[in-house]
Structure 1
Amino acid sequence: MSAASTVRDQVSPEEWQLRVDLAACYRLVARYGWDDLVFTHISAKVPGGQEHFLINPYGMMFEEITASSLVKVDAQGRKVQDSPYPVNPAGFLIHSCVHGARADAGCVMHTHSLNGVAVSAQRDGVLPISQQAFFVLSSLAYHDYEGVALLEDEKPHLVRDIGAKTFLMLRNHGLLTVGKTPAEAFMAMYIFEAACAVQVRAQAGGELIPIPQKILDLATQQIAQVTLGMGGALAWPALLRKLDRDNPGYAG
């Protein structure tokens, strides 16, 4: 019997579907070049009422992750299902406090992309200079660097800083997004990463043109219009078809 069959038999249909979507999310992060070897993480809350979460098997490349290889842990980061892989302690510290504080945090994604880290090191953070930044600035918070996220004392600071926002810039560190689903968290990260990439490139050119505040104030309304009210779910089926062509096997 395959590992996928064994895990699938042990979990609910809802958890298995979440595993498939989260594994796809990991592979898409690798596909778009936002992974940092094995050192970043995406977590998802398991449906069913218990405080259980899925996170990557520490040591596995994102392009290798499958639905059955994801590790299930409790709110303290302890494995609640057999797995030969450990869990990144810094990864779970960041994710556990966001999941614990936010009922809407079904999925939390964190990256160390070069563009994201570059902008996180800039005093003014995300600048209002692109359509991507227009969306990000509608729900953006910042968190000051406190070293590698290993200390419990950092948790309340993270919770305080992110509040109810979708986008969190971890200064000198990277990017974090929150969504109800992996699809939502991925779409938010796609826009966040693009805003940072555009900013780094634009800063190498001439004088920047800021978007006026009266235009920035339209962002929330226009996000819903652009995505037909579907958020990240609009592009998700197409992204899965792309994975099925380029890197199949994530649903195993």
Structure 2
Amino acid sequence: MSETRSIIDQLPGDLIFRLPPTFDTVEEERRHRKERLAAALRIFGKLGFEEGVAGHITARDPERTDHFWVNPFGMSFKHVKVSDLVLVDHHGTVVEGRYPVNQAAFVIHSTIHRARPDVVAAAHSHSTHGRALSALGRTLEPITQDVCAFYQDHTLFDDYTGLVTDLEEGERIATALGPHKAVILRNHGLLTVGSTVDAAAWWFITMERSCQVQLLAQAAGPTIPISPENAALTYRQIGNDLAAWVNYQPLHDQITREQPDLFD
């Protein structure tokens, strides 16, 4: 994060530049996470990341840290409001909310949140290009500037055994993710994590687009990779959660201006 922070610190002091907020109370932080979660789900809906009832984004509760907020099972991403979000405990019990939770959401996200205390949010959906690349059993290659955000910071879960409905399978996914920001689930799709909802959502969005670019480029002919040295440099510049948060803000601004009912 230091290289991104150093770039920000060089900006003139009289310019407006947003940074992740801080909070005086846990109630303020909880409301903020829920609002960002609802907005991220709306963005996923707008970008076409829905596939029936599949897909979920979670945000760890700031007070009950073994609980997380998640979108309701069976509700379109495009319709989720803050008041619709469901709070689930580490047993999969709905603690707050009026709707059931997707079993796969609980299995995958509960194990990741337990294994990674640094993770505030996780995003998973069956997006088109993520699924296509996952079917090849490949990881992303450093062929563009943007994809270097994932250079040596994503993995492949090289297995598929059906719907993820038991905790043992979730634990295997969490193990495959390890300390990284993303994992490609073979024959399944993408999963990303972040220290904020904004970061997790941005990593998913840009990873999906990177999958699309790689598939297009490789279909057109041989690609020219970025050198390991320059890929590593670019990763240090754009591969941290602060850079992700900054990149995500225009999308958040768009959806909240277009669909203010999400705050209800």
TM-superposed deviation, 1:141: 1.1
What is the number of residues matched between the two proteins? Answer: 238
TM-superposed deviation, 1:241: 2.2
What aligned pairs does 1:20-169 form with structure 2 within 5 A after superposition?
20-83=35-98, 85-143=99-157, 144-169=159-184
Change (3 A) 1:209 1:244: same
Q: Does 1:238 align with 2:243?
A: no
Paired position in structure 2 for 1:247: 259
Structure 2: how far apart are the matches of 1:172 and 1:77? 26
TM-superposed deviation, 1:106: 0.3
Structure 2: how far apart are the matches of 1:42 and 1:122? 25
Paired position in structure 2 for 1:195: 210
- Paired amino acid for 1:242: Q
Structure 2: how far apart are the matches of 1:37 and 1:246? 24
TM-superposed deviation, 1:180: 1.0
TM-score by length of 1: 0.88
Shifted more, 27-36 versus 93-102: the winner is 27-36
**Contact persistence 1:138–1:219 (CA under 8 A):** no
TM-superposed deviation, 1:157: 1.4
**Contact persistence 1:132–1:194 (CA under 8 A):** no
TM-score by length of 2: 0.84
Shifted more, 212-221 versus 161-170: the winner is 212-221
Structure 2: how far apart are the matches of 1:221 and 1:239? 23
Please state whether the residue corresponding to 2:78 is helix, strand or coil.
helix
Shifted more, 208-217 versus 229-238: the winner is 229-238
Structure 2: how far apart are the matches of 1:103 and 1:13? 20
**Contact persistence 2:85–2:97 (CA under 8 A):** no
Structure 2: how far apart are the matches of 1:244 and 1:187? 16
- Paired amino acid for 1:53: F
TM-superposed deviation, 1:245: 3.2
Please state whether the residue corresponding to 1:230 is helix, strand or coil.
helix
Please state whether the residue corresponding to 2:184 is helix, strand or coil.
strand
Unaligned 5+ runs, structure 1: 1-10
Paired position in structure 2 for 1:176: 191
Paired position in structure 2 for 1:6: none
**Contact persistence 1:27–1:65 (CA under 8 A):** yes
Structure 1: how far apart are the matches of 2:102 and 2:96? 16
Structure 2: how far apart are the matches of 1:195 and 1:130? 8
Q: Which of 202, 205, 213 is residue 220 of structure 2 equivalent to? A: 205
Q: Which of 218, 226, 230 is residue 233 of structure 2 equivalent to? A: 218
Q: Deviations over 1:211-242 (max 9, x none)?
A: 22222222332216xx8x83233144432321
**Contact persistence 2:81–2:262 (CA under 8 A):** yes
Q: Deviations over 1:100-119 (max 9, x none)?
A: 00011100000111100000
Structure 2: how far apart are the matches of 1:179 and 1:57? 21
TM-superposed deviation, 1:206: 2.0
% identical aligned pairs: 35
TM-superposed deviation, 1:198: 0.2
Change (3 A) 1:137 1:50: closer
Q: Deviations over 1:169-205 (max 9, x none)?
A: 1111000000011111011112211110101111221
Structure 2: how far apart are the matches of 1:121 and 1:137? 20
